[in-house]
Structure 1
Amino acid sequence: MRVYPDQLAKQLTPLTQCYLVFGDDPWLCETSKSLIYAQAKRDGFEERIQLTQETGFNWQDLLEEWNTMSLFASRRIIELSLPQAKPGSDGSAQLQALMQHHNPDILLLLTGPKLASEQTKSKWFKSLDAKGVYIPCTTPEGAQFQRWLQGRISHFKLRLTQDAQQMLFNLYEGNLLAADQALQLLQLLNPNDLINSQQLEQYFEDQSRFTVFQLADVLLNNQQDKAQHMLSQLQAEGVAMPILLWGQFKELTTLLQLKQAQELGGNVSSLWNKLRIWDKRKALYQAALSRLSLTQIEAMLAFASKTELRLKQQGVEDWTALSHLCLLYDPSAHEHLSHIELA
């Protein structure tokens, strides 16, 4: 039976013979396992055996654990990790055989990476799925991530404005672990009051000696040496790349709107309040607008999007690409770096 992670808690009583937790999202996998272990403990499963299918693994070990009485006379959980999600012919036969011999004192928990469609059609999988629960732990995207985020905000009893929720969505889509950690910290810092995007910005600003916003200012002013030094320091201090990319998208999107208005002959100054650009930063934007063309700003946004896509889909933290993006605030760099493409 297939059960998605957000519904698992409702499907744990009574426990079944086995659970299959497979997927590519670490947070969903660990959370699902924790829910299963917590319910198992309540039901008297106090002993835990861990096995991993690696080179030289003997499937007879699994059978022996299945048939061995606990030294402490308690019920037992056998967690079997399948790093490749491929038990082979011996393992497939063993798993199918175990499902034919029900043992109420054993709970089998299988874990591994995301399963391909052909794996879910295999005999070993169908045998276990018929006797237990399959939890596919795939990272939610788009509207699904939005629902997950709202659920976690409710879980922590936080109150966030719509713009603050959108900021978190932009920052953490594709990274549930980082999103959950951020929400836990917000619960500690501000458990009762309504949190807006400005307060979130202040939180991010407090995380390092140099800040995302300081980096944005020196880039708008085309202080390249200082910007590269800041970026290096931010990396050394462990500032998360999603936060830095969010900062770049924020500034480049603002520049794009201003430049488009400028190109159409509109009154750019009328956009200051709408875009929340305060007096002390107007000169920075005007300097950037005077040297960057609309085509260059669009190219920078496209490059930032590719960098973010690699981060979210492949887990690649490409600091060289981020450095490249910063260099593009200098119009002369577009001519010299335009031939460079992300791998």
Structure 2
Amino acid sequence: MNLAAQDTAHHLKAHPLPAISLIYGSEALLNAEALDALRARATADGFSERQRLYGDTRIDTLIAELETPSLFAPRRLLELYLDQKKADKATADTLTRLADLPLDNTRLIIYAPNLEKPHTTAWYKALFSKGNLAIASQALYPEQFAKQIRARLNAAKLRLTEAAYELLLANCQGNLFAAKQAIERLTIHPQAHNIIDETLLTELLDDFSQFNTFALSDAILGADWLNAWRIAARLEAENPRDTTLVTWLIQRDMSVLIGLANLNPGEHAAHYQQYNIFAGQQRRYQAALGKHSRAAQRTLLKLAARLDRITKGAEHGDYWHTLKQHLLLRAQQQRQLT
């Protein structure tokens, strides 16, 4: 069965968790919320033990365990994380084998956000023609993004004037994580039960944006490394667990820059549309092209990948120390060149 990521929680209210679920697609928050919904349903269905497996090298271990299940094995939830855009032959063959394995005491979630067009592959057809669940998220274009924000405001029982609503859309820059954070802050505001106008929203966003993740994004794009380090330190002090948006922004920003550097100017508009970069934001990236070499862009993209692995537990390390260490090193290198 195929399902849009935003419909996952509603679907699982009426259906048990299938043996195998897949989450893929480009909208990070919708993927994360779908994963949370699957985990909650697994717990409700009695699969309370959870185990995470990272990377293709762990698939053989997974297959071996599933092929020889113990009579006394606990009911468990396995989460398999894959980074590939396209499954190689070994991975595809292994995934195909999953379709015929007994999963009476096991539920498997395959979390592979980078997969591209998996529905055209043989392994996908083998797994998801038998009642399993394939959950896909897609990049939200402006109209879709606006509908998402409206729905989330309604769910939070928040009432905004039309001007305030438009201001919120502009400040979120097409990012659902930012929208979620802003809406959560609005819900705890003393005047949340009133109609929120543009003035009140402006005050709240000004207070929130002094040291927020978008300020960090601006500092990194502008190669203002020491300021980026200060902002990262402040973000760590305020909420050390709030790392997902930081990683996403670094990954998104560097992917945009690398794409722009490899394209002709006439192709930039389509590239910006692919990443949902609104017209008002495009100047930031054009200016950043002159401040980051291609090697520096790739280094920051690798940093984002490492931070993601640390967050998921696939690599040992301290998230904020790793980030701040990189920013401080870049600041020192910049000072030596001046």
Q: Same fold (TM over 0.5)?
A: yes
Q: What is residue 61 of structure 2 aligned with on the other side?
A: 61
Q: What is residue 76 of structure 2 aligned with on the other side?
A: 76
After TM superposition, give the deviation of residue 107 of structure 1 in Å. 1.0
Paired amino acid for 1:47: E
Gaps of 5+ in 2: 212-221, 236-244, 247-268, 291-338
1:52 partnered with 2:54? yes
Query: Which is higher, the Rg of structure 1 or of structure 2?
Result: 1
Gaps of 5+ in 1: 211-227, 242-304, 325-343
Q: What is residue 327 of structure 1 aligned with on the other side?
A: none
Matched residue of 2:129: which SS? helix
1:94 partnered with 2:94? yes
Q: What is residue 11 of structure 1 aligned with on the other side?
A: 11
After TM superposition, give the deviation of residue 310 of structure 1 in Å. 9.3
How do 1:61-210 residues align onto structure 2 when only pairs under 5 Å count? 61-67=61-67, 69=69, 73-117=73-117, 119-131=118-130, 132-189=132-189, 190-207=191-208
Match of 2:45 among 43, 55, 58: 43
Q: Distance in 2 between matches of 1:157 and 1:44?
A: 32
Q: Which segment drifts farther, 86-95 or 174-183?
A: 86-95
Q: What is residue 328 of structure 1 aligned with on the other side?
A: none
How do 1:313-328 residues align onto structure 2 when only pairs under 5 Å count? 313=277, 318=284, 321=287
Q: Distance in 2 between matches of 1:234 and 1:95?
A: 42
8 Å CA contact 1:22–1:29 kept in 2: the answer is yes
Q: What is residue 297 of structure 1 aligned with on the other side?
A: none
Q: What is residue 20 of structure 1 aligned with on the other side?
A: 22
Q: Which segment drifts farther, 121-130 or 198-207?
A: 198-207
Q: Distance in 1 between matches of 2:46 and 2:112?
A: 25
After TM superposition, give the deviation of residue 112 of structure 1 in Å. 1.4
8 Å CA contact 1:2–1:133 kept in 2: the answer is yes
- Return closer, same or farther for 1:313/1:208 CA change in 2, 3 Å cut-off: closer
- Return closer, same or farther for 1:71/1:316 CA change in 2, 3 Å cut-off: farther
How do 1:206-221 residues align onto structure 2 when only pairs under 5 Å count? 206-207=207-208
- Return closer, same or farther for 1:208/1:16 CA change in 2, 3 Å cut-off: closer
Paired amino acid for 1:321: A
8 Å CA contact 1:114–1:136 kept in 2: the answer is no
Q: Distance in 1 between matches of 2:271 and 2:207?
A: 25
Matched residue of 2:78: which SS? strand
1:30 partnered with 2:29? no
After TM superposition, give the deviation of residue 61 of structure 1 in Å. 0.5
Q: Distance in 1 between matches of 2:70 and 2:161?
A: 52
After TM superposition, give the deviation of residue 174 of structure 1 in Å. 2.4
Residues 36-74 of structure 1: CA distance to partner in whole angstroms, max 9, x if unpaired? 0001001001111211224xx153211123245579843
Paired amino acid for 1:35: A
Paired amino acid for 2:54: T
Q: Distance in 1 between matches of 2:274 and 2:138?
A: 17
Matched residue of 1:3: which SS? strand
TM-score by length of 2: 0.60
- Tell me the C-alpha RMSD between the 2 structures: 3.9
Q: What is residue 295 of structure 2 aligned with on the other side?
A: none
How do 1:259-298 residues align onto structure 2 when only pairs under 5 Å count? none
8 Å CA contact 2:73–2:105 kept in 1: the answer is no
Matched residue of 1:19: which SS? strand
After TM superposition, give the deviation of residue 86 of structure 1 in Å. 3.2
Q: Distance in 1 between matches of 2:84 and 2:101?
A: 26
8 Å CA contact 1:307–1:318 kept in 2: the answer is no
TM-score by length of 1: 0.60
Q: How many residues align?
A: 240
Q: Which segment drifts farther, 176-185 or 86-95?
A: 86-95
Aligned residues with identical type, % of pairs: 27
8 Å CA contact 1:82–1:111 kept in 2: the answer is yes
Q: Distance in 1 between matches of 2:274 and 2:171?
A: 14
- Return closer, same or farther for 1:139/1:71 CA change in 2, 3 Å cut-off: farther
8 Å CA contact 2:16–2:41 kept in 1: the answer is no
Q: Distance in 1 between matches of 2:71 and 2:283?
A: 47
Matched residue of 1:49: which SS? strand
8 Å CA contact 1:25–1:137 kept in 2: the answer is yes
8 Å CA contact 1:311–1:317 kept in 2: the answer is no
Paired amino acid for 1:3: L
Q: Distance in 2 between matches of 1:96 and 1:64?
A: 14
- Return closer, same or farther for 1:209/1:89 CA change in 2, 3 Å cut-off: closer
After TM superposition, give the deviation of residue 175 of structure 1 in Å. 0.7
